[in-house]
Amino acid sequence: MPPADLRPPPEWSRSTPVRVVVSFAFIAIVLVLAPLAISIYGFAQGQPGMGRYALAFAVVCALVLWVGYETRLRRHTSTGPLVHRPGGPDTAALEIPYSTRIYTGYLLVMTAVALVFVMAAVDSFASDDPGRVGGGYVYGGVAMLFGSLPALMATGRFRRGYLRLTPEGAYQRGWTFESFLRWSSIVAVLPKYADCPVIVVVAEDDAPWQRRQITRLWRQDRLPKVKRQDGNGLVPMLDIPGKFLSVDPTLVYYLLGFYLTNPSARVELGSESAVRRARSGALG
């Protein structure tokens, strides 16, 4: 359990919007339960085509509902995912991984959608109606499009992200990008709310900012592009959506703030001491 005395910043103190609850109820009733009932009816009436596609639609929507729950409603209370990542003096780190469930959810949703279109393509090519063959090629192309995300996952270009805090700085590996800022250049750790709790790590305008967009396809997150006040380039920053983290974002917010304001403590980021501090909540 995270330390009870770590209170979320005021910017995050809001309840779940009614529209989110309504959306979940709509998906569950109209897009999952209703198609499931149609599927049962189709199989019972000797219409396997109706049954298969209705069932496939219900499965896809159920997976979407699960991903939505993981990103919108689940509250992470365990500090177990926090780990020490061994390495050299400058690379050993406290690692805060992104959620395994969300990563798995993305994989299952896109795989399921791809398989639905594969099924549609096979049915089109197997049909006695010559006019449906063209549709098979379209369905096959759509299947390849959705199947490209599992392919990116297999190659590591789209991967489960993490935040690593080292004695030298903060490194963020998002789903599709990587970004690094040195502690010496960071000036503030700020909370904001943009569809979810977000932690913003801001550096000096002229700070070295190592960043790379790894893939431009299926970008579930993006490098921040906030222009400097003088208009000469972008503000170096890390933008960390709390909904993707495997631990309470409140804990991560206080961790970043602690190591920003306590330079002498950063050396422990290269050892197990940082994990123990994070789990104990000794961040005052």
* pLDDT tens digits along 73-117: 888 888 999 999 998 877 899 999 999 999 999 999 999 999 999
CB 86 within 8 A of CB 93: no
Longest dimension (CA), the chain: 75
What pLDDT shows up at residue 113? 98
What's the rounded Cα separation, in Å, for the pair 190 and 184?
Answer: 17
Residues β-bridged to residue 241: 198
Task: List Cβ neighbours of 48 (8 Å cut-off, separation of 6 or more).
Answer: 42
Locate the DSSP E strands across 130-274: 162-165, 169-173, 177-182, 186-193, 197-203, 210-213, 237-241
Residue 215's Cβ-count burial label (10 Å; 0-12, 13-18, 19+) is middle
Cβ proximity of 172 and 160 under 8 Å: no
pLDDT of the residue at 161:
96
Half-sphere exposure of 205 (CA within 13 A, CB side): 7
Ranges under pLDDT 70 in the chain: 1-4, 15
Q: What is the pLDDT of residue 1?
A: 45
**Pairing state of beta strands 162-165 and 169-173?**
antiparallel
- Which one-letter amino acid corresponds to residue 11? E
Unique residue bearing structure tokens 């406290």? 94
Q: Please say whether the beta carbons of 255 and 82 come within 8 A.
A: no
133 vs 140: CA distance, rounded Å:
11
Q: Give the pLDDT score at 98.
A: 97
